Structure 1
C-alpha cells in the first residue's frame, strides 16, 4: 500500500518521471491512500498489498430478538458465556448448577439498561427487559436484548479488496425455555468476500431434546454450522455493522416437522429464516421452529438482530505503516508537467 500526497508548485522537480496533465485533470488528484495494485511494483505482490493484520477484533451479536424473549415455560430464553455442562436431562437450569455465566475467557454476555448502556446481567436479572421488568411470552416486543461479545479475534482485513477473515476463540451457549433445550457455538470464524457477502461459522454442540418426549436427552456430535449469512458488508476503517440475512430467506425442514408457511401479507414484515445448516442442527436440539417463521405467535421476534464487528487494522494510522510508502506528487500551478517523488527504499516502483 502507498500513501499519496499532493502539493502544487510552479517548479518542476528533476530526475522524476513526468507526464503532461491539464489543470482539469489535476483537479482529481487528492490526498488519499492507493493500493500497489494500481502501480507496477517490482519485488512486491500487489494482490495482498492492502491486506492488514488484526489482532484485537471483536463482535457483538444477540442472534435474534427471540434469543432474549419470554418463554411460555421456564421464564425466558437467554445467552450464557462458555460451553454449558450436561444437565443430564431436559430440565430447567438452577443457579446452583453453575451452568449460567456472563464471562468465560474472551466471551462476555451483556444486556442493556433503560439508557441503552450494556452491562453483564446476573442470574436474577437475566430475564428482565431494559427497564427491569420480567419479559413476557405474550408480547414479541418484550425482550431482554441480551447479546454475546467475543474479543481478541485475529485475522486479516483487506479494505481495498473488500475481504476479511477473522477467527475467535471461545464459546457461548443458547438456552431456551429456561434451559429445557440448549446448544453451544465454539470458535466462530468470520469470512467476507469481495462482493460484500460473508458468513459467520462455528462448531455447534449440544444435546438432542424433544418437547414431545421429555425423556429424550442425547449428546450431539460437533457440527460446523453457519450461524449467519451476511450481505452488503462494507469494511470500514474500524469495523462494520450489518443485519444478517433472515427476511425473505426460505428453509427446508424434514417431513413431519413444523415447516415454514407461505409468505403472506400477514407475515411479510418478518418472514424468513436463519441459514439452512443452522436450522438443520436445531432440528436435533428441539429449537428448530424458533429460528424461522413457523406460523406461531412468536414469529415477529425471530428475525436476526444487527451484528457489529470492530477491529484495529495495523498500518492505518496517520503515517506510513507496514507495507506502505509515501508518494509525493508535485502539481504545477499552470497546465504542464507534474512529477512523482517516491521514497520506496529498496522497492522499485514503476509508474505507468
Structure 2
C-alpha cells in the first residue's frame, strides 16, 4: 500500500476517476509542502551551522531560536522590487528561474522515499527507469542557469554561464560512468537495475563499501553540479559579482538561491539512495523514510562543512579535476564493478 492508494480509498465515495484525480492532486500538494519545508530547513540549518563554526549565534530574534527568521526574509524578498535589465532578452530572462525550479521539483517527485508507518510507501513515481528520469530532469536545471546568463546581456553573467557549461560537461561525465557501474552491479541481483528502488533493494550491503571510488567520484560531482564552494565557478562572487544571477533581484533571485540549497539536499538524497542503502535499515518497512532523512542530513552537514572550510578552486584546476582525475577514477571504478558483478554471477 502506498500513499496514492490510501488517498484514493479516502476519496472513493466521489467515484473512480474523481478519487484518483484528487489522490494525485493531494499527493502532489504533499510533495510540494515537503520540498518547501526542506528548502526552509536547509537555509536555517546552514545559517545556524555556519554561525556555530564561526563562533557566532546565528538567527535568534524572530521566533524561538530564530526559526521564523526565514519566513521574515522570504516576505521581505517577495516584497522587493524586481529590477529588469534594459538590454535583456525578456522571455528567456523571465523563464530561466522557472526552468531551474521545475527541474528541481520534478527531481523531488521522482526520488523514492521509502515507507512511513501506516501511510505506506511515500514514493510518487513508479517506473523501471527512474534513474534515467532523474538524470534527465536534473539536466533541466543547467539550461535555466545558461539562459539566465545569456539573457541578462551582462559580461559577468555570460562568463558565469560559460563556466557553468564547462562545469557540467567535465563533472557529469564521470558521474554518469559511476552510475553505469551501479546499474551493472544491480543487474546481477534485480530485474530492474535502471530503477532507483531496484538499486536500493539490491544493496545487501551499501554500495558505498565495494564502490568506495564511485562514492567519492559521485559525491564530488554532486557538489560540483550544486555550484557551492569550492566549486562555485558559475557564481564566483569575487570576480564575476554573482555569475549568471548578477542581473537578478527580488523573488527571481530567490528562486536561484532556493535552487542551490534544494540541489544540496537532493544530491544528498541521491547519494544516500545509490551508495548508503537509502531507506534500508532495521524496521525499514515502517521507518524507511526516517532512515533516508537521517542519512541525507548527515551528508548535508558534510556538504556544509566542505562549503564553509575550503577556498574556491582556480578555474583551470577545477576543469582538470574532472577530466584528468575523476574521469580515470570513474573508469577504474567501472572495471572494479565489472569484476564484482562477474564474481557475484558465478
Assess same fold via TM > 0.5: no
Q: Which structure's relative contact order is higher, taking Cα pairs within 8 Å and 6+ residues apart?
A: 1
Pairwise TM-score range, normalised by the shorter structure: under 0.3
More strand by share: 1
Structure 1 length-normalised TM:
0.18
Q: Which has more radius of gyration?
A: 1
Structure 2 length-normalised TM:
0.19
More helix by share: 2
